[in-house]
Structure 1
Amino acid sequence: MSDYPAYRTPWTTSHRHLGSDLRVRTYPAQGPSRGTILAIHGFRGDHHGLDLLVRHLPGYTIVVPDLPGFGDSTAFTTARHDAATYATVIEALRTDLGLPDTATLLGHSFGSIVAAQYAAAHPGAFAHLVLVNPICEPALEGRQAVFSRLAAGYYAAGRMLPGPLGLAVLRSRLVVDIMSTAMGTSGDPATQAYVVDQHRRYFSGFANRAILQEAFASSIRDTVRDVAPAIRTPTLLVVGELDDLGSVPGQYSLAALFAQANIEVLAGVGHLIHYERPGTTARLVDAFLAAEPAG
């Protein structure tokens, strides 16, 4: 992926929240910072999943935690791993890091649910909200209902099987590759190879089987739609035309629920906007933040 902007070296900090040793990467802006973005990754991912978007936004200071139980962050010891509890991580980091109320909150996929739940409960804490591939309809009701039920059975089986066997099922390279192929829409072999490599490297970085099933259950039960009417923060929705986890009509219906929302539909892309169209997404984010000055 040599045609992408250069990698930005972050600094890493550790924070304690509900028993989790929470690891956070902060990518400093190149030159004077145009603002701060706190970015929340999706299900089974970690901070690596947002790397291309970070690279395409060099003018911003970007903070990316590994959600508890994923990547380098340990699991909660006193709470369930669901969108509502993950939203409390945002408040803990906002306080610990002293993030200003001029900052932007961004979430991708499952991270869009987490970010939206926080924004609904904490009006004014962030100046802008950006949701990439937002989850606009329950997975058990939409076009992916059958697949979602099969996936729920897969995660349940992985949790119930004897330890080594259960982990082998959940970390199966074959299953991870099937996920990558099913979600990918890019016809570019280099991009598809990058997606497969990223998922092979980081999709199995979960702390244990229980947290994986808990987080998945939340990802197919909860939606941004549940809380959108309570959100007053200016919001940008970046939507994939071919996203099986959120139809275009469903995304327009979601946008109408917000007090202030812009929607951008990217043609020819599905649920992997952050991998397949990071440059376009970054330009949309930059334009949105410039048009909606903080405060």
Structure 2
Amino acid sequence: MTAAPPDLVIETLGIGTRTWQYGDPDGSVLVLVHGFRGDHHGLEKLASAIAARRPGLKVLVPDLPGFGATPAVPGRPHDLELYGEWLRLFAARAAPGSTGVLGHSFGSLVVANALAGGLDPDSVILVNPISSPALEGPQALLTALATLYYRAAEALPERAARGLLGHPLIVRAMSAVMAKTGDRELRAWIHDQHGRYFSSFADTTTLLEAFRASVSHTVGEYAASLPAETLLIAGDRDDITPLTAQLDLQHRVPGSRLRIAPGVGHLIHYEAAEDAADEITVFLRAGSGGAG
């Protein structure tokens, strides 16, 4: 992992979107959109790997509004419409002209909504896309429990809610369920990453609104807006979306390409970042993505 890259502040929706930059500062742009409750740190490993493989590429990883170092948008509900609008504005200001976009998990929903609203990138990459309703996935019971957990937090005052939402034991339990690797060192690193960065949200209202957005939509709703130049990367042990749903999404986007990470779940960006970067580099070099 390289040293922390320089950061930028891009004005969007009246807030400064904190953004980290990798690779060639004058290169063509690939924007990476992180998942729910994370921030740019979650995609740092993947961003570094892509930039190392693709000279002439600038990789931008912003913190979503209300997460990490980016403040919440005042006076607006943090639903999928807001995040889609934010991404369209961010791409227009941070990378005018040709741009590629990548979304991981909740980020795949943000990208899909932005595409439906008019975002027109050269290429689209979705990693662990949310391709089926969360309450119908392989771990539907755990998702239902998570929903109750967030509802309980909603009934508490801010300080108590933060304590519940960021409780180290709950964060560790979530991390233990999501991580599939048998490598003890990698597993310990994943737990450390979640412990450090999984609770850096602006306030509980923003977090709860974003959670509702994450479980209320699927990428499939926006399938008609996905271009043929779309690469899907999915884990065959994903607890959020079953592989059958990823195959169905690919079939609904003619010309798209699906790559499967064996033995990996919803944390491709941690457990298979190098392999994913290889696939992404090949896809970007092909220019048009294309079927395969």
TM-score range, shorter chain: over 0.9
User: Normalized against structure 1, the TM-score is what?
Assistant: 0.92
- Matching of residue 203 in structure 1 with residue 198 in structure 2: yes
Which residue does the alignment assign to 1:106? 102
- Matching of residue 131 in structure 1 with residue 119 in structure 2: no
User: Superposition pairs for residues 84-163 of structure 1, below 5 Å?
Assistant: 84-101=81-98, 103-122=99-118, 125-163=120-158
Where 1:239 maps in the other structure, the secondary structure is strand
Q: Are the equivalent residues in 2 in contact too, given 1:19–1:75 (CA < 8 A)?
A: no
Structure 1, 6-15 or 112-121: larger mean CA deviation: 6-15
Which residue does the alignment assign to 1:249? 244
CA distance in 2, matches of 1:259, 1:121: 20
CA distance in 2, matches of 1:169, 1:81: 21
Aligned residues: 285
User: Normalized against structure 2, the TM-score is what?
Assistant: 0.92
Where 2:66 maps in the other structure, the secondary structure is coil
1:63 is aligned, of 60, 64, 72, to 60
CA RMSD in angstroms, aligned pairs only: 1.7
Match for 1:49: what amino acid? G
Match for 2:96: what amino acid? L
CA distance in 2, matches of 1:7, 1:53: 12
CA distance in 2, matches of 1:61, 1:215: 28
Structure 1, 265-274 or 144-153: larger mean CA deviation: 144-153
1:166 Cα deviation from its structure 2 partner: 1.5
CA distance in 2, matches of 1:49, 1:166: 24
Structure 1, 258-267 or 182-191: larger mean CA deviation: 258-267
1:98 Cα deviation from its structure 2 partner: 3.6
1:233 Cα deviation from its structure 2 partner: 4.7
Q: Are the equivalent residues in 2 in contact too, given 1:18–1:78 (CA < 8 A)?
A: no
Match for 2:38: what amino acid? G
User: Superposition pairs for residues 68-83 of structure 1, below 5 Å?
Assistant: 68-83=65-80
1:21 Cα deviation from its structure 2 partner: 2.9
1:163 Cα deviation from its structure 2 partner: 2.8
Which residue does the alignment assign to 1:46? 39
List runs of 5+ in structure 1 lacking aligned partners: 1-5
Where 1:205 maps in the other structure, the secondary structure is coil
Which residue does the alignment assign to 2:170? 175
Where 1:10 maps in the other structure, the secondary structure is coil
Q: Are the equivalent residues in 2 in contact too, given 1:113–1:223 (CA < 8 A)?
A: yes
Q: Are the equivalent residues in 2 in contact too, given 1:39–1:62 (CA < 8 A)?
A: yes
CA distance in 1, matches of 2:237, 2:212: 23
Match for 2:225: what amino acid? A
List runs of 5+ in structure 2 lacking aligned partners: none
CA distance in 2, matches of 1:245, 1:225: 14
1:292 Cα deviation from its structure 2 partner: 2.7
Q: Are the equivalent residues in 2 in contact too, given 1:155–1:212 (CA < 8 A)?
A: no
1:225 Cα deviation from its structure 2 partner: 0.6
Where 1:283 maps in the other structure, the secondary structure is helix
Structure 1, 9-18 or 74-83: larger mean CA deviation: 9-18
- What is the percentage of aligned positions where both structures have the same residue? 36
Q: What do the CA deviations read for 1:181-200 (whole angstroms, capped 9, x no partner)? A: 00000000111011000000
- Residues 237, 77 of structure 1: CA spacing in aligned structure 2 closer, same or farther, 3 A cutoff? same
- Residues 56, 98 of structure 1: CA spacing in aligned structure 2 closer, same or farther, 3 A cutoff? closer
Higher helix share: 2
Which residue does the alignment assign to 1:165? 160
Q: What do the CA deviations read for 1:1-31 (whole angstroms, capped 9, x no partner)? A: xxxxx4154222223333433211122339x
